[in-house]
Amino acid sequence: MRTFNLFTVILSLSFFVSSFNRIENNTLHKNANKISSYNSDNDDVKENISNDFFKRYSDLKKYKSDIMSLYKHRSLGSIWHDENEINEFGTVLYEKAKQTNDLNIPYQTEIDKLFDNSSENGLSKTDADMLLSSLYIVYAQKNISDSKKKVSYDTMLKDFLNYSTIEGATASTSADVKVQYDQYYKLEDVLKKYKKMDRSHKWKAIVPEETPYKDLRPDAVSSTIAQVRNHLYLMGDLKNDSKSNVYDRELMDAVMKYKVRNGFKPNYILSEEHIQEMNTPLSEKMQTLKLNMERCRTIAAQMANSDEYVLVNVPSYELIYVKNGKVQMTSPVFVGAPLTKTTIFNGEIDRIVFSPYWTVPQSIVQNELKSKIAADPNYLTEKNMEIVNGQVRQKPGPDNSLGLVKFMFPNPDDIYMHDTPSKTLFDFEKRTFSHGCINVKMAKELAVAMLKDYPEWTQAKIDKAMDGKIENSFKLTKKVPIYICYFTSMVNENGEIGFFKDVYEKDAELSKELSVALEQ
């Protein structure tokens, strides 16, 4: 409960600060028509604007002097808008007003429409801004403390914009709630971008021209292509929207960028699955971003301060190796199947084992090998296996199920990372094949990168150790932290957001946990 509430407070605070810094004096509109210019000292213009507004919104006349006082030092410039859109500060005011009991809001229907993405409100920015200013006055009157009753609304608004009350309340605990993992703030930036896009009404669902849908490939001509083009432009995969219906070279590059960042197979085919993913409502994507921001809180602080670590993200099937604060390499992985899920936990890699034996877990022997051995007396020999001290193990070699190198980090679930001879499995988009361990496509490259600080481990020595003949175990003098994580959205090193399949259905679990915590 405490963690979630503080998370909400900090997120709201960041919205206030960022919005306040961006507020500018903008030219106002009268109804739908733009006022070409006016001088800030022209009292007649200001009076005409206010008279016109309060004539049409007569129930607000009693608040006229208070509302106009908010614009006293803003030359009637907007308070609640960033360019032509309501800023986050206006959004939070609206949410706080809705949560205030017994608050009588004049013209509530018109104000509600400002925040209803499915409704065209038809209001000018001038009207919308002054309606929100009236909402602020009503809200302030309801929540004003006795000690501030003699303070002007304009002064209170400045305090409200700075949000000094929340800053003071959280000052003593800010060190406790600061998120160390910078992924949190990267996701937060994307969330702000999506909120702004949601308010702009520019995002539209793609309606395929083809019925039933047929895969779209380069050189195809279809109205669906133009819609995809617009979507990828809004998402940042495409620099310009030519509005062309032709699947051209420019769109091919954008599709590839979209697929790579979202974990799809890197090709130019646009299947129905891709259209469905693109049509995921922004509201759902924003909820996913919030859930993964919350997950960032569980990342141990030492990871953010560590100069070297390995991060495995299960939903994206990817390993990231970081050293000296920079990503040294990434590699595709495959992970545990739904019935044998890879455990989400932190550990420390303390050994690298070259040309390893594979001691087959007893559960696999009982459930899979026992019947095969009984049916075929030569099964063990053909699979390069032997029985030692009552346990079945596979000898080192290129066909060993662990490949030619494994990375050990002690844990109660006996999970480790390793190479694999089954390289073709990395061609699949959904890679949940293992019994829980993490299979690394670029295992050799990872070993080479991790051993750069060990001069005795030359490339030649590593190659010999990985010849598949004799097991060779090396204990690291400096353990390397490993974090097996579960992020269904993540910002990569290029600043690109990716959304990944919730393969273990953990998003729903976390959302439920947070809802329960909020109700307590």
Helix (H) or strand (E) holding 499: strand 497-499
What is the 8-class DSSP label of residue 338?
Answer: G
Reference 136, options 202, 188, 211, 70; nearest CA is: 70
437 labelled catalytic: yes
Catalytic residue among 81, 231, 274, 437: 437
Backbone angles phi, psi at 104, to 5 degrees: -90, 110
Using only C-alpha atoms, what is the Rg of the chain? 30
Task: Establish whether 296 is a catalytic residue.
Answer: no
**C-alpha to C-alpha distance for 112 and 98, rounded to whole angstroms:** 10
Q: How many CA atoms lie within 13 A of 28 on its CB side?
A: 24
Whose CA is closest to 129, among 72, 83, 91, 86? 86
Q: Which two tokens stand for residue 513?
A: 């946990």
Check: CB of residue 481 under 8 Å from CB of residue 310: yes
Catalytic residue among 81, 231, 274, 418, which? 418
C-alpha closest to that of 363 among 334, 336, 340, 383: 340
Torsion angle in degrees (nearest 10) through CA of 452, 454, 458, 464: -110
58 contacts 64 by C-beta, under 8 angstroms: no
Q: Note whether 431 and 333 are within 8 A (CB).
A: yes
Helix segments in 144-182, DSSP class H: 153-162, 164-170, 174-177
Which ranges in 376-477 belong to alpha helices (H)? 379-382, 443-450, 459-465
* Residues noted as catalytic: 418, 437
